[in-house]
Structures are given as C-alpha cells and as structure tokens.
Structure 1
Amino acid sequence: MPTITFHKDDQVHVGEVQANTNLVVRAGIKQFPFPHLNYGCGMGKCAKCACKVLEGAEHLPAANWKEKKQLGDRLEQGWRLTCQLWITEDITLEQPITVESE
C-alpha cells in the first residue's frame, strides 16, 4: 500500500492508501488525512488541487493534456494536478495555502 506524505499549513499528514487511489476522490469522501487537500472540480479544469511533488515523481505517469494546459511551466518545477493522478507508489506532496494561478 502506498504511503502518502502531505505537507500543508506547516503540518505533515501521513496515510496509506490502496494502490491505484486518487487523492481527490479520498478527500471528497473525507478519508483522513486527505480532507486537508484543496480541490475543486476533480476534472482537471480548475487547478485547485495542484501540488508540488517532493518525492516519488518517478513513479507517476507523464502529464496529460489537462495538466499541461493548467500548469504550463510549473510542470517542470514538479507541480501536478492530484485529480489526474492515480497513486501506485509512495509519494510526498506539498500544497501551499494558496495556489498560484496562471
């Protein structure tokens, strides 16, 4: 089971999920620790769920067209849309209090 380490508001939330889990779905059903995740549409249109991947990016698939459109140059800085990711391996994410929009 993948371990998720999530940094937000100077706090660290750690939890395990079943393989092939989407964190926005987990947040939507209020399963700890992921209610702390900011998210909106869940479809890659709003970018409210954008997080910087601190560890584990090598296990993620390439960014899809929605992430490329919403994140642009931030992809090269390690940002991803969590609504578009299905977690299969350990990952460490950081989400600032407010996410910069382009």
Structure 2
Amino acid sequence: MPVVVFRRNAEVYEAEVKENTNLVVRAGIKQFPFPHLRYECGMGKCARCACRVLAGGEYLPPPNWKEKKQLGARLDEGYRLACQLWIEHDIELEQDDLPVEP
C-alpha cells in the first residue's frame, strides 16, 4: 500500500492508504488520516487543495486540463491539485497557505 507523507503548518503526517486513493474523496467521507488537508470543491475548480509534490511525482500522470487551468505556472514549481490525483505509489506532499492564482 502506498505511503503518503503530508506536510502542513510545520507538522508532518504519514500514513498508508489503499492503492488508487484520492485524498480529497477520503477527506470528504472522513476516512482520511491527515486532519489539515485544505480542500473545497473536489472537482478541480477552486484549487484550494493545491499541494507541492516533494517526492513521488514521477509516478503521477501528467497534469490534466483542470490542473493546467487552475495552477498555470505553479505546475513548474511542482504543484498539483490533490483532488485530481489518484495515489498508487508513495508520495510526499506539502500544502502551504499561499493563494493559487493561475
């Protein structure tokens, strides 16, 4: 099972998740071990769930059109939308409080 390391507010959370897990979906149904994940719509429209991928990004598919629209140049900085990612491999994510502007 993939291990997710999630960093937010100077805290680090680590847990195993089932393969093909979407972190925002899990958070929405209260089956998510990371209490500080910031998210809202879950559909790639608001970018509130934007996270910087610190490790494991090579296993993710390329950004989809929603991520390109919402994140713009921040994609080059390693940002992705958590709501658009289905986790199949170990990954390390960091979420900051900076607003995401395309």
TM-score band, normalised by the shorter chain?
A: over 0.9
Q: Which amino acid aligns with 1:99?
A: L
Whether contact under 8 Å (1:15, 1:32) holds in the other structure is no
Structure 1 residues 1-102: aligned runs within 5 Å: 1-96=1-96, 98-102=97-101
Report the Cα distance in structure 1 between the residues aligned to 2:21 and 2:98, rounded to whole angstroms: 23
Q: TM-score, normalised by structure 2?
A: 0.95
Q: CA deviation at 1:75?
A: 0.3
Report the Cα distance in structure 2 between the residues aligned to 1:26 and 1:101, rounded to whole angstroms: 22
Question: Unpaired runs of 5+ in structure 2?
Answer: none
In the alignment of these two chains, the number of paired residues is 101
Question: Unpaired runs of 5+ in structure 1?
Answer: none
Report the Cα distance in structure 2 between the residues aligned to 1:90 and 1:30, rounded to whole angstroms: 21
Report the Cα distance in structure 1 between the residues aligned to 2:98 and 2:27, rounded to whole angstroms: 17
**RMSD of aligned C-alpha atoms?**
0.9
Identity in percent: 65
